[in-house]
A and B are shown apart, each in its own frame.
Chain A
Amino acid sequence: MKYLLSSLYILISLLLLSSCEKVIELDLPDGEKLIYMDAWISDKPGLQSIKLLQAVNYQDQAQPRTIDNAAIRVTDITEGKSYDFVFNNGAYIFDPGNSQAIGVIGHQYKLNVTLNGETFEATDYLSRVTTFDSLTLEFKEGSGDFEKQGFYAEFHARDLPGGTDYYWIQTYRNGARNTYLNDMVSIDGSFYEGISDGYEFIPPFTEGVTSGEKPYQKGDEVKVVMRSLSKSSFSFWEQAINQMASGGMFSEVLQNVPSNIMNSNPQGKSKIYGWFGTVAETSISKKVE
């Protein structure tokens, strides 16, 4: 629905030929440099890494500062197995070996962090993910700023039947995030729970892997990654994406994203922001020729 509202707004601006967006200088005050985690465990075999970071000012070009004095452990609650992550070159890592994966679909995971004498924990469930059927490319002549000339990619996938599935879709161009696009989240291939179980993904998603402002060109490699999410991790990304794509007439007011990392001591004063999530991952890629 956001898609429809924003295209409505684009069309109105097009017709009135008057709306404009302009990058402005804005001096934001220094914010409190909160500590947060970027902790995502996947079902992919090989090295897994978790970051514990200190935020920087919004417009600061610097990378966030890493915090290296924490002890981090991930536990597969379902299997009763623990993995101690060690700090190495900016991140906490664990390598189960090339053919081994920490993440297993259907398992429950727990994150434990000990920092400066306080302990924190978070849990998540690793949900199943569907597979892509295909990724197709179509050349378009272009029709203005919102649809330039180039190749338009579209993926095809079907939601897994039975149960509600939450998906997180990311797009890469030549190995790097396609910065012209926002990540997308979907429930059963559409927007809402309980209406599209087992269906094909609908167009706002399937077509959402190309930006009309910068479509793909010959030689580009397009890659679409789909990750499964638990319901609570879905809600985190839904909100995060809303905050990052908050332009337009119908933008929601800025609300802070939640955190699932809790201080084990309810009276504890320190807080860690960010999110711990577990995902199953699938991807598809194609070279534009």
Chain B
Amino acid sequence: MIRQKFASPAFLVTLLMFCFSVHAQQAKLFVISGYVKDEQTGEALINATVSIANAAVNVQSNAYGFYSVSLPGGDYELVVSYAGYGNFTKQIKLSANISMDLVLDSRATEMQEVVVTGEKKLKRTNTVGLGIQQLSAGQIKKIPAFMGEPDVIKALLTLPGITSVGEGAAGFNVRGGNVDENLIIMDEAPVFNSSHLLGFFSVFNPDAVKNVTLYKGAFPAEYGGRTSSVLDIRMKDGNNQKLAVNGGIGNIFSRLAVEAPIQKDKSSFIIAGRRSYIDVLSKPFLKKEDRDNTLYFYDLTAKANYEINDKNTVYLSGYLGRDVFGVGDEASFKWGNTTGTLRWNHLFTPKLFLNTSLYYSKYDYSLGFSSSEENKNESYSWKSDIQTYGLKPTLTWFINNRHQLKTGFNLVYYNFYPGQGISTSDGDKSDITLKNRYGSELGLFVEDTWKVSPKWNIQAGVRLSQYAYLGGTTVYHFRDTTPNIRKPLDREEVVKSKKPVNNWTYLEPRVSLRYTVQKNTYAKAAYGRSTQYVHLLSNTASPTPVDLYFPSTNNIRPSVTDQFSVGIVTIPERLPVEFSAEVFYKSMHNVLDYIDNANLELNQLVEADLLTGKGKAYGVELEVKKETGKWQGWINYTWSKSWRQTDGISKNEWYLSRYDRTHVINVSVVHTLTERWDISGSFNYGTGAPATFPDIRFDIQGQPIPFNSTGKRNNFRLPAYHRMDISATWKGKQTKKLKTEWVFGLYNVYGRQNAYSIYFQQNEDNPQQKEAVRLSIIGTIIPSITWNFKF
């Protein structure tokens, strides 16, 4: 239960006072503002640091590269720094507002790009918040990858607090949370299924990704709707200076990205695509019967931007991806995401920046069987989708150098189409259609980033989140029963209009504090509450492409999570490394669970099979990172626990969730051998995932039915998971016109057969004998070669 639906009004008032008691009443101030950009591509640079050395002022460019600094008149030295680029320095005589784009040259350090600089822009040392991890496209590409294909989500799995239930499993788990508790947004549009080929690859094309930020803790107030994490993926803008093409050819798929100016300096586009062809390549090696099978995926990512004038810029971006699988002409199965985002940046004044995003996202799948022989025609098909529409205006007010206020709202409309099954037989057709469900979500947010004193920084925000389960459907009312027994239907209520059937309002405080202990040593603390109104219904080992998203309804309360964290980060004086430690505690309410033998497929009354319970997770994350020099990389260790308690499950006791991985160690190292050779390696160790095993069996009608006499869930663990990967990159021709490289990779170097699951069966030839079988998704070492080019 939620102990406190609304935070105290006193808190809100105090917060608002923070925000609006603007104290800039000293000398007259002037504003220097503009965008930080890359000279070669025109790409806006996110989180570049703009410093005014002689005024002790530091600000960062925002997600669109915009910066704004307020200073009294005078002479200043302005320095812009951004990892991977040479510093930009300019003397300024300030006597009026100045609008100025800061253009950085990456060529200055290009030869050593890989060698000298890390590319992580948002450092633990320069953020107020905790639990923020950022990866650039460059970093993602350096980590050894499965089948030689750099992958956003696989790269995230090398960071502390982020795990998955096994190789090839869809999605990822953050600090003991479910897969569906991650808000994954690509240019603001939510992505409901982040995986291709089940979970072997993620849907994000690294050639079109500019920046990846993951918030594990108290996320900024502008984000909401999920309880575990926010993964904010920003697509590349496209080169507005000249045509650029890059791509790669690997064992699994090929990539191609084209970017070019539409109008130099003003507008540009990028189109990036991938298509897998392992089904085509492997055809000659497959037996005749298997050759009719198809299995491939493709995706297309595109973005265009247009700078109307120095006050207005618009961006249009979209994604289309599909996985296609077929067994001869007997069965076919397709799934994928479609997203679209239209954004408008508007500068009211040099201090007032508005971004308005309008987005659409859809995830759908369809599957079908058919057989036609002897003039008989049998077929069966099923389809389902979820669609969302959203509007999110965000106003950033650079009040002065001590206050930056962000406010806005996010309106989301959900349309759930849980499924329609159609069956035909000899021309007869019948179908079953599950009722659509509708929901709307409104989040109002305000947040102030405040430099209280040279030692103290506060980021304090609040989000007022309101969700309505809408009518226009049949509302089912169930009677209460013993938990873990299907709830009996009490009555059906047809609600014609789309008025709210149920309404929930939550006030979500998000507060982060940073204290400067000494130069380059910071202590931090944070608290955040978040709520979630959409849930992925899945009770299998790994989420499948056909799992349904379902809204909170009159029968399913929204889930709410409170998270507390404290941490410390330091960069020692003489060492080029960053040490950090974070401790977190999460308390989760109304976490979804399922009755035994829940029927989640094509079930009109699916809500009768759902349970809600509590959860808690806590842990320590330690990390050492080195992001400069010939040797770069990170080592992290996480100790954590993730628990659940649901009445009716596991004797009502607390039990370990499937996402508990107690000890996790990640090591990632990149070494520059010579100008042409880079080598990298990574190692991952994790405690085996909890699993439920039987201890006795019932022989019923000759069938050995496994049974767990303890009645306790997750009473065992799979063996520990560990794996090492290495890769080497050889740079070929590096001329101005063409740059090529070969990437050689070995995944799972020592061929460990990590257990994905253990199941139990009778031996087929000797039914008396019952055996435990370990399934390893990757059972051998997997070599790969990829050729990348750029011109």
- Write the residues of chain A forming the contact surface with B, with a CB cutoff of 8 angstroms: 1, 4-5, 7-9, 11-26, 28-34, 36, 38, 40, 53, 55-61, 63-64, 140, 142-144, 147, 177, 179-180, 183, 190-200, 202-204, 213-214, 235, 238-240, 242-258, 273-275
A202 touches B371 (CB 8 A): yes
- Closest A-chain residue to B332, C-beta based? A4
A22 touches B705 (CB 8 A): no
- Pairs across A and B, CB under 8 Å, 6 listed: A8-B198, A58-B697, A244-B705, A249-B775, A255-B596, A256-B708
Select A1's contact among B169, B541, B601, beta carbons within 8 Å: B601
List 6 A-B pairs, minimum CB-CB distance, nearest first. A31-B695, A143-B287, A20-B779, A31-B696, A143-B289, A199-B425
B423 touches A199 (CB 8 A): yes
Chain A residues whose C-beta falls within 8 Å of the C-beta of B425 in the assembled complex: 196, 198-200
A199 to B658 alpha-carbon distance, docked (Å): 40
B168 touches A249 (CB 8 A): yes
Chain B residues whose C-beta falls within 8 Å of the C-beta of A251 in the assembled complex: 540-541, 757, 759
Chain A residues whose C-beta falls within 8 Å of the C-beta of B542 in the assembled complex: 249-250
Q: Does B288 contact A (CB under 8 A)?
A: yes
A18-B778, A190-B380, A204-B369 given as contacts; is B539 within 8 A of A252 (CB)? yes
CB distance from A123 to the nearest CB of B (A): 17
A38 to B422 alpha-carbon distance, docked (Å): 37
A40 touches B768 (CB 8 A): no
Chain A residues whose C-beta falls within 8 Å of the C-beta of B761 in the assembled complex: 244-245, 247
Select A19's contact among B544, B769, B778, beta carbons within 8 Å: B778
Select B709's contact among A8, A55, A143, beta carbons within 8 Å: A55
B423 touches A196 (CB 8 A): yes
- 13 further A-B contacts with Cβ under 8 Å, apart from A1-B546, A4-B367, A253-B541, are A1-B382, A5-B546, A9-B198, A11-B290, A12-B168, A20-B779, A22-B776, A24-B758, A38-B700, A60-B770, A195-B430, A249-B542, A253-B540
B540 touches A24 (CB 8 A): no
- Closest B-chain residue to A255, C-beta based? B596
Select A196's contact among B289, B380, B597, B697, beta carbons within 8 Å: B380
Range for the number of chain B residues in contact with chain A = 35 or more
Chain B residues whose C-beta falls within 8 Å of the C-beta of A200 in the assembled complex: 376, 378, 425-426
CB distance from A230 to the nearest CB of B (A): 15
Select A144's contact among B197, B290, B367, B706, beta carbons within 8 Å: B290
A56 touches B696 (CB 8 A): yes
CB distance from A176 to the nearest CB of B (A): 9
Q: Interface 1/0s, chain B 238-264, versus A by CB < 8 A?
A: 000000000000000000000000000
- Closest A-chain residue to B700, C-beta based? A38
B707 touches A22 (CB 8 A): no
- Closest B-chain residue to A181, C-beta based? B764
A130 to B216 alpha-carbon distance, docked (Å): 56
Chain A residues whose C-beta falls within 8 Å of the C-beta of B778 in the assembled complex: 16, 18-19
A238 to B703 alpha-carbon distance, docked (Å): 13
A289 to B758 alpha-carbon distance, docked (Å): 40
Q: Does B286 contact A (CB under 8 A)?
A: yes
Chain B residues whose C-beta falls within 8 Å of the C-beta of A61 in the assembled complex: 768-770
Select A15's contact among B279, B382, B703, B760, beta carbons within 8 Å: B279
Chain B residues whose C-beta falls within 8 Å of the C-beta of A197 in the assembled complex: 430
Residues B584-616 near A (CB distance < 8 A): 596-597, 601-602
Interface centre among A56, A199, A255 (most CB of B within 10 A): A255
B779 touches A57 (CB 8 A): no
A19-B775, A249-B541 given as contacts; is B596 within 8 A of A258 (CB)? yes
Q: Interface 1/0s, chain B 197-234, versus A by CB < 8 A?
A: 11010000000000000000000000000000000000
B691 touches A253 (CB 8 A): yes
A105 to B71 alpha-carbon distance, docked (Å): 91
B753 touches A4 (CB 8 A): no
A240-B703, A250-B541 given as contacts; is B774 within 8 A of A22 (CB)? yes
Chain A residues whose C-beta falls within 8 Å of the C-beta of B777 in the assembled complex: 13, 18-19, 249
- Closest A-chain residue to B197, C-beta based? A12
Select A244's contact among B601, B706, B713, beta carbons within 8 Å: B706
B697 touches A254 (CB 8 A): no
A11-B325, A38-B699, A197-B430 given as contacts; is B693 within 8 A of A247 (CB)? no
A104 to B629 alpha-carbon distance, docked (Å): 83
B290 touches A143 (CB 8 A): yes
Chain B residues whose C-beta falls within 8 Å of the C-beta of A235 in the assembled complex: 597
Q: Interface 1/0s, chain B 290-327, versus A by CB < 8 A?
A: 10010100000000000000000000000000000101
Q: Does B762 contact A (CB under 8 A)?
A: yes
- Write the residues of chain B forming the contact surface with A, with a CB cutoff of 8 angstroms: 168-169, 197-198, 200, 278-279, 282, 286-290, 293, 295, 325, 327, 330-331, 333, 367, 369, 371, 376, 378, 380, 382, 421-423, 425-426, 428, 430-432, 539-542, 544, 546, 596-597, 601-602, 658, 691-711, 713, 753, 756-765, 767-780, 782
Interface centre among A15, A196, A245 (most CB of B within 10 A): A15
A21 touches B773 (CB 8 A): yes
A155 to B61 alpha-carbon distance, docked (Å): 69
Select B295's contact among A11, A191, A252, A253, beta carbons within 8 Å: A11
Chain B residues whose C-beta falls within 8 Å of the C-beta of A143 in the assembled complex: 287-290
A15 touches B430 (CB 8 A): no
A55 touches B697 (CB 8 A): yes
Interface centre among A195, A257, A275 (most CB of B within 10 A): A195
Interface centre among B382, B423, B753 (most CB of A within 10 A): B423
CB distance from A274 to the nearest CB of B (A): 6
CB distance from B95 to the nearest CB of A (A): 66
Chain B residues whose C-beta falls within 8 Å of the C-beta of A242 in the assembled complex: 597
Chain A residues whose C-beta falls within 8 Å of the C-beta of B539 in the assembled complex: 252-253
B701 touches A179 (CB 8 A): no
Chain B residues whose C-beta falls within 8 Å of the C-beta of A243 in the assembled complex: 694, 705-706
CB distance from B422 to the nearest CB of A (A): 7
A20 to B757 alpha-carbon distance, docked (Å): 11
Select A258's contact among B597, B692, B703, beta carbons within 8 Å: B597
Select A275's contact among B382, B658, B700, B763, beta carbons within 8 Å: B700
B771 touches A59 (CB 8 A): yes
- Closest B-chain residue to A144, C-beta based? B287
A28 touches B706 (CB 8 A): no
B773 touches A23 (CB 8 A): yes
- Closest A-chain residue to B772, C-beta based? A26
A202 touches B711 (CB 8 A): no
Chain B residues whose C-beta falls within 8 Å of the C-beta of A275 in the assembled complex: 700
- Closest B-chain residue to A246, C-beta based? B759
A99 to B421 alpha-carbon distance, docked (Å): 44
A31-B695, A243-B706, A246-B760 given as contacts; is B700 within 8 A of A199 (CB)? no
Chain B residues whose C-beta falls within 8 Å of the C-beta of A40 in the assembled complex: 701
A17 to B286 alpha-carbon distance, docked (Å): 11
A22-B774, A202-B369 given as contacts; is B293 within 8 A of A58 (CB)? no
Chain A residues whose C-beta falls within 8 Å of the C-beta of B169 in the assembled complex: 249
A273 to B422 alpha-carbon distance, docked (Å): 38
CB distance from B537 to the nearest CB of A (A): 13
- Closest A-chain residue to B770, C-beta based? A59
Chain A residues whose C-beta falls within 8 Å of the C-beta of B780 in the assembled complex: 17-18, 20
- Closest A-chain residue to B540, C-beta based? A250
CB distance from B719 to the nearest CB of A (A): 9
Chain B residues whose C-beta falls within 8 Å of the C-beta of A257 in the assembled complex: 698, 705, 707
B378 touches A203 (CB 8 A): yes
A159 to B710 alpha-carbon distance, docked (Å): 40
A21-B774, A56-B696, A58-B695 given as contacts; is B709 within 8 A of A179 (CB)? no
A15 to B290 alpha-carbon distance, docked (Å): 10
B697 touches A19 (CB 8 A): no
A28 to B287 alpha-carbon distance, docked (Å): 40
A16 to B197 alpha-carbon distance, docked (Å): 11
CB distance from B652 to the nearest CB of A (A): 15
CB distance from B703 to the nearest CB of A (A): 6
Chain A residues whose C-beta falls within 8 Å of the C-beta of B759 in the assembled complex: 246-247, 251
Chain B residues whose C-beta falls within 8 Å of the C-beta of A203 in the assembled complex: 330, 369, 371, 378
Select A23's contact among B279, B380, B597, B772, beta carbons within 8 Å: B772
A240-B700, A250-B541, A256-B711 given as contacts; is B423 within 8 A of A22 (CB)? no
